[in-house]
């Protein structure tokens, strides 16, 4: 991150300095970086309770339709589905409606609302370390995720754009998280998927740090600093499509092919708490 005096002294770096400073927030210099990395982008979610995510950093995916996975939720940009909790975290909340007609959604059959936050058109990066400190919800049919999509999805489609799942969780398995890589020829059920078990702990009982380190030769997955998986170009059957800009996604889905449908044991509302999201680069 360029200091102000560098910006003033070296006019030739003006444009670079402006781009670097545009994602900075007060206190960013105090955020620790892992050895060999420097902070490139972050959100600490320190706003007052009820404040919506920073629109300079986050956009929304909106609507229903299953999202390719037979999901049940309708994604909104409402504060009741995504807002600061006033304690230093973003709360992404899934709400159930006994009568869809009372939901206020443009969907006569949608029984759930939630939020899917994206940095598309706000921030993308190629290679680096992306991490989020999360406290996950728990319950049948609950599906929290932190992941990346190729920014060229609008031009080439999915899975040709590439997808990196930093963390996915089935709410019915509160001590287990998954990481995956999706590309042409190795997507969906054919994707390389790895599993990490928290060793008797529940992901809903405390915050944990979920991260990937991504470079030209490999993607590596971590939980609380412990590497549990890696995928390299030679280990997938088709072209490696992880060599261009990607954007970040945080969402809380309900139902779907991965998590299964909610049942009589499922309790709502459900909340995914996000302490921070950070991106580092070498």
199 or 1, which is more confident: 199
Name the active-site residue from 71, 73, 163, 213: 163
What's the mean pLDDT in 34-55?
Answer: 97
Q: Check residue 12 and give its pLDDT.
A: 36
Alpha-helical (H) ranges within 75-217 are 153-156
Give CA–CA dist 177/144, Å, rounded. 10
Type and span of the H or E element at 129: strand 128-135
The verdict on whether omega for the bond into residue 269 sits within 30 degrees of 0, i.e. cis, is yes
SS3 call for 208: strand
In percent, the amount of the chain with pLDDT more than 70 equals 90
- b or e along 38-67 (b: 16 or more beta carbons within 10 Å of the residue's beta carbon)? ebbbbbbbbbeeeebbeeebbbbeeebeeb
Tens of pLDDT along 51-68?
999 999 999 999 999 999
Give CA–CA dist 123/18, Å, rounded. 14
Picking from 54, 205, 223, the residue whose alpha carbon sits closest to that of residue 132 is 223
Give CA–CA dist 198/47, Å, rounded. 30
Tens of pLDDT along 263-274?
999 999 999 999
Q: Where exactly are the structural domains of the chain?
A: 1-30, 32-281
CB 175 within 8 A of CB 200: yes
Q: Output 238-243 pairs: Cβ under 8 A, ≥24 positions apart.
A: 238/183, 238/184, 238/185, 238/186, 239/183, 239/184, 239/185, 240/183, 241/150, 241/159, 241/160, 241/161, 241/162, 241/183, 241/184, 242/150, 242/162, 242/164, 242/181, 242/183, 242/214, 243/126, 243/216
Angle at 229 between CA 168 and CA 226, to 5 degrees: 90
Angle at 114 between CA 164 and CA 112, to 5 degrees: 125
In percent, the amount of the chain with pLDDT more than 90 equals 84
Name the active-site residue from 44, 71, 73, 168: 168
Q: Is the pLDDT of residue 232 over 80?
A: yes
**Reported confidence tier of residue 49, pLDDT bands at 50, 70, 90:** very high
- Give the CA distances from residue 169 to residues 40, 56, 131, 142, 202, in Å, rounded to whole numbers and listed in that order: 27, 28, 16, 8, 11
**Reported confidence tier of residue 203, pLDDT bands at 50, 70, 90:** confident
What's the mean pLDDT in 245-261?
Answer: 97
CATH of 32-281, one of 3.40.50.300, 2.60.120.200, 3.50.50.60, 3.30.413.10: 2.60.120.200
Cβ-based neighbours of 17, under 8 Å, separated by 6 or more: 2, 6, 7
Tell the residue number behind the tokens 């991150």, with chain if given: 1
Lowest mean pLDDT of 200-204, 219-223, 246-250, name the range.
200-204
Count the neighbouring beta carbons within 10 Å of the beta carbon of residue 10: 12
- Give the CA distances from residue 170 to residues 55, 176, 192, 222, in Å, rounded to whole numbers and listed in that order: 29, 8, 17, 18
Q: Is the pLDDT of residue 27 over 70?
A: no
Give CA–CA dist 86/192, Å, rounded. 38
In total, the chain counts a number of residues equal to 282
What's the mean pLDDT in 216-245?
Answer: 95
168 is catalytic: yes
């Amino acid at each position: 991150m360029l200091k102000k005096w560098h910006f003033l002294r070296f006019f030739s770096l003006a444009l670079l300095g402006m781009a670097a400073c545009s994602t900075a927030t007060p206190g960013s210099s105090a955020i620790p970086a892992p050895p060999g990395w420097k902070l490139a982008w972050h959100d600490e979610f320190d706003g007052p309770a009820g404040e919506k995510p920073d629109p300079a950093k986050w956009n929304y995916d909106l609507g229903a339709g299953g999202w390719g996975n037979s999901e049940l939720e309708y994604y909104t940009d409402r504060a009741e589905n995504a807002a600061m909790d006033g304690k230093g975290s973003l709360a992404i909340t899934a709400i159930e409606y006994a009568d869809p007609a009372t939901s206020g959604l443009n969907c006569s059959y949608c029984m759930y609302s939630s939020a899917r936050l994206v940095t598309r058109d706000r921030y993308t990066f190629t290679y680096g370390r992306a991490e989020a400190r999360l406290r996950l919800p728990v319950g049948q049919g609950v599906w929290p995720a932190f992941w990346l999509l190729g920014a060229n999805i609008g031009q080439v489609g999915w899975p040709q754009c590439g997808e990196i799942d930093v963390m996915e969780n089935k709410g019915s398995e509160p001590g287990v998280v998954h990481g995956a890589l999706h590309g042409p020829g190795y997507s969906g059920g054919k994707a390389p998927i790895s599993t990490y078990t928290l060793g008797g702990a529940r992901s809903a009982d405390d915050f944990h740090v979920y991260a990937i380190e991504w470079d030209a030769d490999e993607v590596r997955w971590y939980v609380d600093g412990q590497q549990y998986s890696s995928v390299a170009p030679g280990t997938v059957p088709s072209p490696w499509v992880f060599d261009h800009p990607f954007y970040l996604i945080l969402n809380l889905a309900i139902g779907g092919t991965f998590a299964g449908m909610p049942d009589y044991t499922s309790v709502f509302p459900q909340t995914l708490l996000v302490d921070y999201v950070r991106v580092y680069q070498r």
